[in-house]
């Protein structure tokens, strides 16, 4: 019995000592579950996109000037008729140059100092409804001949076939995904203009034509400048939407028309001759919306945490 009690006591002490020793051993806990941080918005990289909007305002007048060059009283020419023709063929004739504009853009952004974004963007757009023609009836009294007038009309047109820009952009991030920016640079476009003057008079000498007219036109690519501002929102990691205003100025063009005047029908000799010149400016305002896809090529690689 005594041996049994001693054995039980020894076993109890051994179990107690083993538990204490186990408690002193270092423990190894399972690592915490990794939760990836939310992606950080970055504007650095290339992008492409589409845009659509409208053009309006700017210079609408097409200025047509008719100037006396020559008259020949020997064949029935009249200085008074030539003067009335010049007056009736001169004026500012307005045309509307507003319309729909739409196209695409490509660019590159660089984000620096956390809140600043600089970049370069090129775009090209076609214009629809931007061509306008105006016809105005004109007339002028003939000096020195009571009741006599030269009457007729002037038709003018101007349009842009396309408009493109190459611009720098500099902006500030109000929030990591909202960019306010200013922009400016080169603008170019396919400009067209035409004018025609047609007139008539019933008081010239027999054999001298009593109706005459001429027309001229211009078509070329113009290069100028543009400036504006906009706001762009990065609503997804690779997608942004923008709203933008631009003013563009492609400069002023001048072109001439053929001779305007009356001739002797039988011989073709000039009774009087005037010359016609046309001047107009291509400028205007653009308001457009767009969407861009950001490739983020060239953006800095994300820093990965190490464990």
What was the pLDDT predicted at 163?
96
**Higher-pLDDT residue of 120, 34:** 120
pLDDT band at 40 (very low <50, low <70, confident <90, very high): low
The parent domain of residue 213 ranges over 57-96+112-294
Length of the chain: 307
Comparing 72 with 4, which gets the higher pLDDT?
72
Residue 307 lies in a domain: no
Predicted local confidence at residue 146, as pLDDT? 79
Q: How many angstroms separate the CA atoms of 262 and 124, rounded?
A: 46
How many folded domains does the chain comprise?
1
Q: Flag the least confident range among 88-92, 97-101, 202-206, 230-234.
A: 202-206
Q: Is residue 2 part of a domain?
A: no
Q: Is residue 44 part of a domain?
A: no
> Where on the phi/psi map is residue 226: left (φ > 0), alpha (ψ -120 to 50), or beta?
beta
95 has pLDDT over 70? yes
Model confidence, pTM: 0.80
- pLDDT tens by residue, 199-250: 988 777 767 888 899 999 999 999 999 999 999 999 998 999 999 999 999 9
Question: Is there a domain that residue 104 lies in?
Answer: no
pLDDT tens-digit series, residues 279-304? 999 999 999 999 999 997 655 554 43
- pLDDT of residue 87 exceeding 60, the answer is yes
pLDDT of 256 higher than 60: yes
Identify the pLDDT of residue 25: 47
Between the alpha carbon of residue 177 and those of residues 53, 101, 241, the distances in Å are 23, 27, 11
Q: 60: which 2 tokens?
A: 């609408």
In the prediction, which pLDDT does 162 show? 95
> Is residue 164 situated within a structural domain?
yes
Domain presence at residue 299: no
The reply to whether 9 falls in a domain is no
Mean pLDDT of 168-178: 97
Predicted pLDDT of residue 80: 85
Query: Which of 246, 232, 235, 258 lies closest to 284, judged by CA?
Result: 246
pLDDT per residue as tens digits for the range 111-160? 999 999 999 999 999 998 767 788 888 888 888 777 888 988 999 999 99
Residue 254 pLDDT level (bands cut at 50, 70, 90): very high
Query: Is the sign of the CA dihedral 84, 89, 90, 91 positive or negative?
Result: positive
10 in a structural domain: no
The residues, any chain, with a CB within 8 Å of residue 194's CB and separated by 6 or more, are 155, 156, 157, 158, 215, 216, 217, 218
């Amino acid at each position: 019995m005594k041996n049994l009690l001693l054995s039980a006591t020894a076993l109890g002490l051994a179990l107690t000592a083993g538990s204490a020793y186990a408690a002193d051993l270092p423990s190894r806990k399972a690592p915490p579950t990794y939760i990836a941080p939310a992606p950080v918005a970055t504007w650095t990289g290339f992008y492409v996109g589409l845009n659509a909007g409208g053009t309006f305002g700017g210079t609408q007048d097409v200025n047509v000037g008719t100037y006396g060059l020559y008259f020949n009283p020997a064949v029935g020419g009249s200085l008074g008729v030539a003067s009335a023709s010049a007056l009736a063929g001169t004026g500012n004739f307005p045309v509307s140059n507003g319309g729909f504009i739409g196209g695409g853009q490509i660019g590159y952004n660089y984000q620096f100092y956390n809140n600043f974004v600089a970049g370069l963007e090129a775009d090209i757009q076609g214009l629809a409804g931007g061509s306008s023609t105006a016809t105005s009836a004109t007339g002028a009294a003939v000096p020195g001949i009571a009741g006599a007038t030269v009457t007729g009309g002037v038709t003018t047109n101007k349009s842009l076939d396309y408009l493109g820009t190459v611009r720098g952009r500099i902006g500030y991030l109000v929030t990591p995904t909202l960019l306010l920016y200013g922009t400016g640079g080169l603008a170019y476009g396919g400009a067209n203009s035409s004018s025609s003057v047609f007139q008539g008079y019933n008081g010239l000498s027999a054999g001298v034509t009593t109706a005459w007219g001429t027309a001229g036109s211009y078509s070329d690519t113009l290069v100028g400048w543009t400036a504006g501002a906009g706001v762009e929102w990065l609503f997804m990691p690779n997608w942004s939407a923008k709203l933008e205003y631009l003013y563009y100025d492609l400069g002023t063009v001048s072109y001439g028309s053929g001779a305007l005047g009356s001739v002797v029908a039988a011989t073709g000799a000039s009774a009087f001759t005037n010359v016609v010149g046309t001047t107009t400016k291509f400028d205007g305002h653009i308001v457009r919306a767009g969407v861009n896809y950001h490739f983020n090529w060239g953006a800095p690689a994300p820093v990965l945490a190490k464990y």
